[in-house]
Amino acid sequence: MPSLSNADICVLAGLVFGAWFAHGYIQKRRENPNNLPLPPGPKSYPIIGSFFSAPTYKAWLEYDKWFKIYGDMVYFKVFGQGFLILGSHERIYDIFERRSSNYSDRPRLVMLNEMMGWDYVFAFQRYGTWWRRHRRQFHDHFHPNVVNKYHPIQIGSARVFVRNLLESPEKFRYHIRYALADSILKATYGMDVEENESYVAHAETTLAGLAEAGHPGSFLVDMFPIMKVIPDWFPGAEWKRKANVWSYINSIVSNSLWNSVKERMEAGTAKPCIATAMLEDLLDDDSAESKEEETVRRGACANGFLGGADTTVSLVTSFFMAMALYPDVQKKAQAELDQVLGGRLPEFSDRPSLPYVNALLKESERWQPVFPLAIAHMSSNADEYDGYYIPKGTYVIGNAWSILHDPEFYKDPLVFNPDRFLKDGEIDPSVRDPNVASFGFGRRICPGRFFADASLYSTVTHVLTVFDIKPNLDENGKEIEIKPDMTDGLLSYPEAFQCRIVPRSKEGEQLIRNSGLV
């Protein structure tokens, strides 16, 4: 074989580079034949893109500032990966609804799905048949025409909740999580929270991991999947050791209660629930098809528990914070409840007669959204939109916080004000419903939102009927200021705060004590 001179090597390298550049140029022109520009965004540098500009803490607030500079559609790259952030309902509707066939996929979530074991949760699955099968199973048990069958469970959990608040009001955060976990455990697995406290604790741990790793790029392995091969013991690989712990706990959350229901069904002790309904018509022939279908149904049940036990926790906790900060709103809602209920505890049949309370529930969803940045979608193919080019594989994220705090639609958006949803004492249909952003977008909107809404209604109405929520007092008897701050992460919760929760009257206290008999 003839040897190559340095000059020959340089020429050969130039040809290879030229061929690579030409291929990339041709590919780009093929995908972007009109040579349209990318949407505007922050300054980009070679290789790293906008790495130094991309926000790392409460990104929704920084993106909201960007919208005022670049418009309601901002594009940037980080290490070659494109991000498109949408900041208005109009953009989100165009992209996620009208062009849903191209924008319903999810990114490859390396840390979350491949390392932490969240691939059983259909919210993070890639768009396709596998996702549709999971969502269909879930939807069959949580669509708006069937969730009313869970109302007795939700009422019962709310009444246990107010009794627990009476006994130890300082533990209100614990009681919130306990009550909401109880209702979804009973609905999904036919079990009480008392016998599954360790399961709830595992779920809290894995959800904390979700909050930390849920946004693409939260960990570098999302950008550089080759990092998966780094051994656990390698210096700086703490992220991988954390992933291993989360993966182990996730396997418990996704499998343990499903297996318990199977054992109880065999013993004849299982209570009717979603899991038993799914298992009853599942063929047990040990075939690959049956095993695959069981995987789908098991995942759908775990999805139900995780969504119902956690999303609403943030909403209810924010409600407690809002009532302590806005006593006039609290008094107005209580007056409506007193008029309608006449000295009894609420039922779901009362809801049509409680317009102000319904407005308060909408404001609870809007004021401090659980998902201030919705889970990222991904463009399946290159697209042209409104004079811009959107490359294939772009991560597209709707900024729910910006939509729900748009002063054009919600005057004084940082203020908790249920009256914004009312006109002449009734819900005003012309006011934008927070549901357009609070539960995701397009085909990936959360199908558990109807159960969550019912849980929120039941919990809030019971609390307001029998309790006053007030700020804590310092040693001098002055109210301690509560700041409405929220945590960072995919799931956002109110930062730690304390409040006083006291019975409104002796009659209210008696209602609470009698509630355990209902």
Cα separation of 444 and 153, whole Å? Answer: 27
Contact, 183 vs 455, CB < 8 A? yes
Q: CA 397 → CA 76, 380, 474, distances in Å?
A: 12, 14, 43
- If one counts every other C-beta atom within 10 angstroms of the C-beta of residue 120, the result is 23
Question: What six digits make up the tokens of 247?
Answer: 């993966």
Q: Which residue has the tokens 């318990």?
A: 260
Alpha helices in 88-171 (DSSP H): 89-92, 129-142, 151-167
Q: According to the annotation, is 446 in a ligand binding site?
A: yes
Indicate the residue type of 31: E
The string of DSSP codes covering 353-406 is: G-HHHHHHHHHHHHHS-S-SSPPPEE-SS-EEETTEEE-TT-EEEE-HHHHHT-
**Is the separation of the CB atoms in 205 and 117 below 8 Å?**
no
Four-CA torsion 242, 243, 249, 253, nearest 10 degrees: 140
**Residue holding tokens 């009794």?**
163
Phi, psi of 255 (to 5 degrees): -115, -35
Residue partners of 138: CB distance under 8 A and separation at least 6: 122, 300, 303, 304, 447, 448
CA 192 to chain centre: 24
What is the identity of the amino acid at 105?
A: D
- From the number of C-beta atoms within 10 Å of its C-beta (0-12, 13-18, 19+), residue 57 rates as exposed
Residue ranges of the annotated binding site for heme are 446
Residue ranges of the annotated binding site are 446
